[in-house]
A = this chain, B = another copy of it.
Amino acid sequence: MSTIVLKFGGTSVATTDLIKSAASIVKKEYDAGNNLAVVVSAMAGTTNTLINLVKEINSSVDSEYDVVVSSGEQVTAGLMSMALNQLGIPSRSWLGWQLPIITSGPHRNSLIEKINVEKILKDFEGKKVAVLAGFQGLSVEGKITTIGRGGSDNTAVFLASALNADRCDIYTDVDGVYTSDPKITSKVKKLNKVSYEEMIEMASQGAKVLQTASVESAMSKNVNVQVRSTFKPNEEGTEISIDGEGEILRAVTGVAYSKDEAKITIIDLVDEPGIAAKIFNKLSDYSINVDMIVQNNFIERKMTNLTFTIPMGDLEKSLSILDKLKDQIEFSRIISEDKLSKVSIIGSGMRNQPGIAAKMFQCLSEQNINIEVISTSEIKVSVLIDKARTEDAVSSLHDTFKLDNI
C-alpha cells in the first residue's frame, strides 16, 4: 500500500466530463489499495474569468483578490468529491482553511508554511480519498490566501512531503517532459527520467510543464514527482527525482527556449562599488525580472558596459526607470534591443563532458545565427539570439545533440 498525491491541472478538469475522467484515474489507484490525496486546480478558464471581474472593479485589494480567486479551486474540489462518490469512492473536499494549510507572506503570493495532515490521515484510516482545493491557504490572521509561485503544483508537492507520500503524480495536458518543444521539431522524444536540477533549468528556460518553484520545492523535500497525461493515463510519464539518467547517458537532456526577450546595454557606466546593486535593486522594486547579466570592464578607464536581459513587455518601463536614475549613476548612453529569444541546452551530464558549450556555438555559427549574450550554469548554456531564428536554433541544436535518439 502506497500513499500517493494526485494533482489535476486546469485543463484536466476543464469540464464535468473531464472531472469524471480524472475521477476514474483516481479510482484505479484507489482500487489498487493506495491511500490517496487529490489536489485540484480551478477548471480551465475560471481563474481568468475571476481575475477579469477583479480588474473590472478597478481596485484590487490583495486580501479580497484571494477571496475571489480561490473560489475556483473550491468549486472543483466539491465537484471532484461528488464525481468520486458517483464511482462509489468515499471522499470529502478540504479547503485551505479547513485543514488548515498555513501560509506566510503577502496575499496573492503567499508561501505554504505547513499543511496539517491529521484530518487527511483520518480520511485514510476510513478509506476515504481527501480532495484538496489547490492554490489556497490560510494566513495567521485567519484570511484566505493564494499561493503565488507554482500554485496547485506546489500544494501537491508540499502535501506529498507532509504525508511522506511515495509519489506525487502531476496530471496535466501533456504526457511528460520532452527533449524540446514538439511545435518546433517533430523529432522530440519524451524523457523517462529527469533530475530535479535538469527540470528546474528546463522550467526556468521556458519549458511549460512545471513551474520552477514547484520543482525546487520537490527537490528540497525530495518528493518523487511523476508528470503524466490525464488523457493517456495508461502511459508512463516522466519521473522527476534526484537522479536523472543524464549523469551517465546524456550530456544534453533538452533544448528549451523563451521568446520575447529584450536586452538593455548601459554604455560607459562609471564603475563604482555598488553601482550594479543600485540598478538591479531599482528594477526589482518595480517587479522587473532581470535574467542574463553580462559586464565588460575597461579597467584602465574605470568604466564598464553593462548588459542585461528582461522580458520584452517590461522594456519601456525599464528604460524609464533607468532614465530616472540619471542623477544617481553616470553613463554615456543606453541602447536597447527587443525581438530576441533565449535558447538553452540543459543536461546534468554536461558536468562530466567538456566541450558541450563549444559544440553549441559551433552549431549556431554553422546556421549563421548570431549570439548576442551567453550565460552558463553548471548544467545549462543559454544564448540570446534573434527571435526570428528561434526555430532554426532549437531544431539544429536538437539534431546536433542527437536528442531524437535519446
Contacts and interface: CB of A to CB of B under 8 A. Distances in A.
Given A57-B83, A86-B57, A95 B67 contact: yes
A386 interface: no
Interface stretch (A72-80, A221-229, A264-272): A72-80
Interface in A141-160: 142, 144
A78 B97 CA distance: 16
A81 B54 CA distance: 11
**What range describes how many residues of A lie at the interface?**
35 or more
A74 B57 CA distance: 15
Interface majority SS (helix, strand, loop, mixed), chain A:
helix
A68 to B, nearest CB: 4
A8 interface: no
B68 A86 contact: no
B59 A68 contact: no
Nearest to A72: B71
A67 B77 contact: yes
Interface in A24-61: 50, 53-54, 56-61
Interface of A: 16-17, 19-20, 50, 53-54, 56-61, 63-68, 71-72, 74-75, 77-79, 81-83, 85-86, 92-93, 95, 97-98, 142, 144
Sorted from nearest, which 10 A-B pairs have the closest CB atoms?
A: A59-B86, A67-B78, A16-B56, A68-B78, A71-B71, A64-B78, A57-B82, A64-B81, A64-B82, A71-B74
